[in-house]
Amino acid sequence: MRVQSICSILATAAMLLWASSAGGCRTNQKKPDIIIPNNGEKQMATFYDYTLTAQTGETVQMNTFQGKVVLVVNTATGCGFTPQYAPIEKLYKDYHDKGLEILDIPCNQFGAQAPGTDEEIHTFCTLHYNTTFPQMKKADVNGPNELPLYTFLKSQKGFAGFDEHKFKTLLEQMFAKEDPDWASKPDIKWNFTKFVIDRQGNVVARFEPTADMAQVEACIVKLLEAK
């Protein structure tokens, strides 16, 4: 193995361990919202009941995406998975006209790898990856200040394990050292975790950052074809 490769792996391990000790994925799991409509009957919230804030400050209501397939992803600009911006942008270009929407939510909770302002992050993504899909304001996806949408998403699809990847063992060892029960908790583990929502608003899939983007694309294509 080349010295450069070894140094790269060690540097990544150090960053991951720092993030773990900082509590990046340790949270008290919240419960999803309960909606009380005009008839007074309690109903569990759906994907369409939530809102986000766009990078430009406007409120983005999820109910505007009814009938669409939606990919929600927490991102970071200084992560080993940051190059996934490229295939995500390709998904948007290839399938947006067919009904795909992508919601990019920058998050600085994992290794402090999204340190910039919303404007700086947007500039980085457009300059380096020519992204055109909507970017939201930077936000938390775990913990007391997590977005309510993420409380809902995690309640629908918990963590089911990392895929085979060069960082799989490293991630597993890191989290196990911090919390023996880490694998049973639905928390977002790292940057570029993805949720896929179908045309009816059902959260049908969760992909960890270690998942092959071809799997993500196959899932999206299948949902787009099921009109």
Q: What is the pTM of this model?
A: 0.85
In the chain, what are the domain boundaries?
3-225
Q: What is the homologous superfamily of the domain 3-225 according to CATH?
A: Glutaredoxin (3.40.30.10)
Q: What is the pLDDT of residue 44?
A: 79
Distance CA 49, CA 51 (A): 7
CA within 13 Å, CB half, 210: 17
Element holding 9 (H helix, E strand) = helix 3-21
What residues act catalytically? 79
Query: Is 206:195 a contact under the CB 8 Å cutoff?
Result: yes
Residue of 210, 185, 224 whose CA lies nearest to 102:
224
Q: What is the pLDDT of residue 179?
A: 94
Spans of the chain, pLDDT less than 70: 1-42
Q: What is the pLDDT of residue 160?
A: 96
Query: Is 196:181 a contact under the CB 8 Å cutoff?
Result: no
Query: Is 122:171 a contact under the CB 8 Å cutoff?
Result: no
Query: Is 138:104 a contact under the CB 8 Å cutoff?
Result: no
Q: What is the pLDDT of residue 38?
A: 54
CA within 13 Å, CB half, 188: 29
Distance CA 205, CA 47 (A): 13
